[in-house]
Amino acid sequence: MITSKTNPKIKNLVKLQKASERREQGLILIEGRREIERAQACGFELEQLYVCEPLLRTPYINIGAATVETVSEEVFDKIAYREGSDGLLAVAKPKYKSLDEFKPKKDALIIVLETVEKPGNLGAVMRTADAAGVDAVIIADPATDLFNPNAIRASIGCIFSVPVYACSTDECIHWLKKNGITIYCTYLKASIDYLDADFRKASALVMGTEATGISEAWVEAADQNIIIPMQGIADSLNVSVTTAIVTFEAVRQRRKP
């Protein structure tokens, strides 16, 4: 059992809480049994698994990590990044996909997030994407690590189940146009009610940041701007809420009678 916070492996886990270290080492952190099991089920390779037995809520079963280390509660408190942990933390290899490899189907439904900054919002959108069965999520000009531990947590592991791509806004627009995918941008001006939009064809639902919305490049590229009418004093919704509303309207329209 590892009982020292200065153990080299523990010190490296603390380092991996930083995005720069994760990129440099080509590793990600996954905390929680559900998230770890979903990552493995989706083909992510587990390098190491750290177990704190006093914190386990159910009996521990080796879920296929290359190496397993048991640690004390004091040590696990040092490496955990969330409260109320269930005593399991894995180190895994990420999977980064190239947009050029994605071959969309005829009626593809795609979510595009431009410059998403908050890992929690990214995770929540990935959870929606999984629940709605979208074909992919594209992050245009990403401002956060795709596999930020908090994004993994907010997605409850769904970030592993949905194909996710990162690229520049220009690359994304070019790819969507080349593949004949209609671009719907959430935008306040020259917009139609999202309920009046036709999402039954191949569609990309583009969401911007809460602070600045979508960039001018997307405004110009849009085939149609859409809006969710506000009934109160609020003039906008959280990006993850907006994504869920519009995405499930698209899913509703695509249901067969």
> Dmax of the chain from CA atoms?
62
pLDDT at 61: 64
pLDDT band at 144 (very low <50, low <70, confident <90, very high): confident
pLDDT band at 50 (very low <50, low <70, confident <90, very high): very high
CATH 3.30.1330.30 is right for the domain spanning 8-92: yes
Please state, in angstroms and rounded to a whole number, the distance separating the CA atoms of residues 64 and 73: 23
Q: Is 188 helix (H, G, I), strand (E, B) or coil?
A: coil
Please state, in angstroms and rounded to a whole number, the distance separating the CA atoms of residues 58 and 72: 17
* pTM of the predicted model over 0.85: yes
Q: Rounded to the nearest 5°, which phi and psi values hold at 75?
A: -70, -45
pLDDT at 214: 87
pLDDT at 62: 62
What is the pLDDT averaged over residues 132-139?
97
Candidates 221, 225, 215; CA nearest to 189 is 225
Q: Say which amino acid occupies 219.
A: V
pLDDT at 51: 93
Average pLDDT, the chain: 92
198-253 confidence digits (pLDDT tens):
999 999 999 987 667 889 999 999 999 999 998 888 877 889 999 999 999 999 99
pLDDT at 140: 94
Rg (CA), the chain: 20
Residues 99-254: name the CATH superfamily.
Answer: SPOUT methyltransferase, trefoil knot domain (3.40.1280.10)
pLDDT at 49: 93
What the block records as the tokens of 72 is 């004390």
Please state, in angstroms and rounded to a whole number, the distance separating the CA atoms of residues 218 and 137: 16
Matching residue, tokens 């440099």: 24
Please state, in angstroms and rounded to a whole number, the distance separating the CA atoms of residues 107 and 248: 15
Domain ranges of the chain: 8-92, 99-254
